Structure 1
């Protein structure tokens, strides 16, 4: 028969294992960062316009629920760029070039959409794959510099953001099939090149969000359940030890940056190939020499999700949610940039995740130890009382 007294100890041990797990640490730090960021954002609103602070804050926190389809649509590209940054970070690389890879992927997708005549049922699929190839090319080059010449990937990838942006703008402006000069933007893509819509009226949400989530899950399986993923993470932890163990560090660097670039390129393809809420139209690109913001938003998403593919899926949805709510805050007199302040503070606190994890873990550990000590004292008193009763019974029997 199982001792009932052992059950609380088993429950405490199970709870302790959860608390000390890396997943719990990441989750708790993300929640703390979000909470502190929202509190700071509310204080900024309170200073800017005290009378509308509560209404504006409600829009920020809850407004996205009224535009849930748009939340998923805008989450799609930052989910992919977040995966691009997070995947490279697992290898110990900081892929700050997601914007350039995103833009190059978008151009490759546009080129196939406009210039290639393909059957309707595969045109959009080929365009997506072309976007992935464009991003892979723009990730491969910094990977080569890093692996073969040990050039810091932060420097090369951020330089390639500008090179990619200017190059794409130049190529689009020089292509009369794609570009409408008097409107300073590209034409609408043919219907065959557009990603199938999910059929939600008044929204651009499409099959891209489902594909992006599936890619995130596949990435998690590759990193956690395969030898290839283990080698990548081992190289990221210590490239010298991994090379001593027979792993190909330089090859892994090139492969990692290429895959990361492909993920960001897919983000660009998903963004530009999306059907518009206006029937018969699509997304368009305006070549105005500005680096794509979605690449840098991906860095924020990756940091908040602790570079974990599943965490990045949820953090992209959250960032998109408060961005949609932030646009509604203008209804009560706030500038949309207020949400950028909130996101910036959230990411700032996410950067101190280890400190917050340590403080939270120490607090919970102290509480558990006090509970354990109190429970042990109660058990000791109970056993002492039972011993006294037993001794009294023995004396009476004698």
Structure 2
């Protein structure tokens, strides 16, 4: 009895956990994932019934056979997911993660090719440069929003295109970075590449470790610091936050700058990765296409409920089913089947909290009804027992 009382005081009862916002968000995400996978299986069933089970199994388990690639491809979308989720906590929709990602990648490439630095710190400097590039590209929409009240969705999506065209132009105009015969950038020197984690046949490197650490730090900042409290308070109600003396305009600029820096780190982590081919590195091909990792970050943030820890897990999950989806082609399915699954998951995630709440109310109503029936039956049985005793007397 004493232990139960203490657990209640400490807030560790089952009821307190199941009624928490985090648990609701978690179950909502699971519901969205389940519904998305069911729809994906149905699509496979319609496309080719004979291979549906094998193809669906490859989607579910294929990533386990390519675990190194799962974590490598999760790294950039983890960072862009954090960029979108962090801004969302402030009530801002950072749809410009692609441009910030591309600018961060360019800054990292520039430091890698154009600066001569000691071997031990060259890749670190390139990562920091990537963060700075993304921050610069995030500050601009933030300044427009804070000082001129220009909608950040409009400015940030425009800067996706501006950043992409600008980076492509700068790379193609730099003979040291760009190899015209390959129509892509040259291989980065080995000292600029992020150290590998040593998984053969995979590009996975310490970037994933840094990304997870950054996600945890972001969680601490948002949950345990005054700055994080101000950001969330402004996101809930900027007028009340201004009345309380919080500097809303400054926080908007800082939020967009930090979000841009996170996306820029994603670009740096992606381009500075060592290639699975010995002696090579990742390269960039300037073909005037917006980086998909920026928009994938939006999906990751939505599925993770914009929570840093949730974003970490959702990025790994999205990367996992993407890797499995590529193996589904062995059974005659197009890789785009995974895009359908992810799109459906995000679609359901958008209103999964509502469905989760409705399901909880339905279950509670059924439980209360069953409890009422049980009580009524117990009363009837008790009355019947009393009548029997009276008759026997």
Measured on the aligned residues, the alpha-carbon RMSD in Å equals 2.5
User: Match of 2:113?
Assistant: 114
Q: How many residues align?
A: 382
Other-structure match for 2:389: none
Aligned-residue offset at 1:279: 1.1
Match of 2:158? Answer: 159
Q: Deviations over 1:176-226 (max 9, x none)?
A: 000000110000000111000001111100000000000000000000111
* TM-score, L = length of structure 1: 0.91
In structure 2, C-alpha distance between the alignment counterparts of 1:112 and 1:3, rounded to whole Å: 62
**Cα distance change, pair 87–379 in 1 and its aligned pair in 2 (3 A):** farther
- Give the aligned partner of residue 232 of structure 1: 231
Work out the CA distance in 1 between the residues paired with 2:184 and 2:272: 15
1:4 and 1:247 mapped to 2: Cα distance? Answer: 42
Preserved contact between residue 127 and residue 269 of structure 1 (Cα < 8 Å): yes
Change (3 A) 1:372 1:215: farther
Report the equivalent of 1:348.
347
Q: Helix, strand or coil for the counterpart of 1:281? A: coil
Deviations 1:30-58 (A, max 9, x none): 00100010010111111111111111101
* Distance apart, 1:17 and its partner CA: 2.1
SS in 1 for 2:13: helix
SS of alignment partner, residue 275 of structure 2: coil
- 2:289 pairs with 1:290: yes
CA distance in 1, matches of 2:69, 2:313: 15
Q: In structure 2, what is the Cα distance between the partners aligned to 1:377 and 1:18?
A: 31
* Alignment partner, residue 316 of structure 2: 317
| 1:57-113 C-alpha deviation (Å, 9 max, x unpaired) | 011111000001110000000000000000000000000000000000000000000
Alignment partner, residue 330 of structure 1? 329
Contact 1:19 1:361 in 2 (8 A): no
**Contact 1:20-1:361 within 8 A present in 2 as well:** no
**Contact 1:102/1:292 (CA < 8 Å) preserved in 2?**
yes
Give deviations 1:131-174, integer Å, cap 9, x for gaps.
00000000000000000000000000000000000000000000
Q: How far apart are residue 380 of structure 1 and its match?
A: 8.9
Q: How does 1:100-111 map to 2 (within 5 A)?
A: 100-111=99-110
**Distance in 1 of aligned mates of 2:322 and 2:167:** 27
Question: Which whole-Å CA distance do the structure 2 matches of 1:326 and 1:277 have between them?
Answer: 20
**Aligned pairs (5 A) from 1:263-302:** 263-302=262-301
- Distance, in Å, in 1 between the alignment partners of 2:136 and 2:327 is 38
Residues 284-311 of structure 1: per-residue CA shift (max 9 Å, x gap): 0000000000000000000000000000
CA–CA distance in structure 2, aligned partners of residues 152 and 204 of structure 1: 38
1:91 corresponds to: 90
**CA apart distance, 1:370:** 5.2
Give the aligned partner of residue 16 of structure 1: 15
- How far does the alpha carbon of each residue in 1:212-252 deviate from its partner, in whole angstroms, 9 at most, with x for none? 00000000000011110000000000000000000000100
| Equivalent residues of 1:81, 1:298 under 8 A apart | yes
Query: Shift of residue 369 of structure 1?
Result: 3.9
**CA shift digits 1:247-285 (9 cap, x unpaired):** 000100000000000000000000000000111110000
Following the alignment from structure 1 to structure 2, what is the Cα–Cα distance between the partners of residues 14 and 373?
25
Return closer, same or farther for 1:17/1:3 CA change in 2, 3 Å cut-off.
Answer: closer
Q: Under a length normalisation based on structure 2, what TM-score does the superposition of the two structures give?
A: 0.92
Secondary structure, counterpart of 1:47 in structure 2: helix
Q: Tell me by how many angstroms 1:361 deviates.
A: 2.4
Partners of 2:20 and 2:373 in 1: CA distance: 25
Report what 1:77 is aligned to: 76
For 1:43, the equivalent position in structure 2 comes to: 42
Q: Is the partner of 2:91 in helix, strand or coil?
A: coil
